[in-house]
Structure 1
């Protein structure tokens, strides 16, 4: 499965993404006013960013902690050779597993867990360890979030570098 080529983001794309982050429920017309560009420009950019997968959806950003699941942990799993598909299916069946990543290093999979209590977290850990494909698990409790998930600063580095290399004329 090939990954589509990443679009070349420019300062208008970044401004549009920042405006969406700051005002997630804003419409195209208001975005065009905020950015001082034509509505068709906003619509075209949104379509391009959506088709490229930069914008993955329009669903609300959910908070596990605000919804009562304020106990969080990361769990690294060492799994049996060739068991990745089985482990994926097993992880999907455990609601407390909110994310999972295939990794390099001493573990094979890193999971982010959310639970309503320490007892709930223990239940998720027990569910993980019931898997015959999991050889070993190591858990680390989250005490607090230091940096919330963010991508705009990273995206800005590519656009800033591209614009710095662009010719002075336009």
Structure 2
């Protein structure tokens, strides 16, 4: 079930993005709301699955895995579960999505070198369930992963639920 966000939810998510190590008290100061409001909003966003974790953002490139590609896979009919298990066994597959269109699965892969990328591609093609693969090399990142601009398109339409909300000045 979707959890509609309001302006305070969005402001809280922006504060967390900008100050990821801030505690509830610091966030309440930044947003000019009561600490209990921050705590209840965070609990609600976490319970609804909007906030899914508190792990650090890791740069694969900075960690030595600067070669990346997207690989589309056409798979055998009914083989999605086995392909998932095979993809999980390949460390270079960092994300995978079930898709529509000419391919069935889109993978984001990373490696430390072109030779390492070739190894990942060969591992993908060893699957008896993969009928065909097509890869596209990533040259550079134009836009980093982001969600707040999209969330802001609907949050701006809602008024905050907490009466203690005061717009930060």
Q: TM-score, normalised by structure 1?
A: 0.92
1:103 alignment partner, one of 99, 103, 112: 99
Root mean square deviation, CA, Å = 0.7
Answer 1 or 2: higher relative contact order, Cα 8 Å, separation at least 6.
2
Report how many aligned residue pairs link the two structures.
159
Q: Residue 6 of structure 1: CA displacement?
A: 1.5
Give per-residue Cα distances to partners, 1:110-163, cap 9 Å, x unaligned: 000000000000000000000000000000000000000000000000112345
* Unpaired segments ≥5 residues, structure 2: 160-169
3-state secondary structure, aligned to 1:161:
coil
Could you tell which deviates more after superposition, 154-163 or 61-70?
A: 154-163
Alignment match, 1:80: 76
* Unpaired segments ≥5 residues, structure 1: 164-170
Q: Residue 26 of structure 1: CA displacement?
A: 0.6
Alignment match, 2:22: 26
Q: Is 1:142 aligned to 2:135, yes or no?
A: no
2:88 alignment partner, one of 67, 89, 92: 92
Q: Is 1:35 aligned to 2:25, yes or no?
A: no
Alignment match, 2:114: 118
1:70 alignment partner, one of 63, 66, 69: 66
Q: Is 1:16 aligned to 2:12, yes or no?
A: yes
Q: Distance in 1 between matches of 2:35 and 2:50?
A: 20
Q: TM-score, normalised by structure 2?
A: 0.93
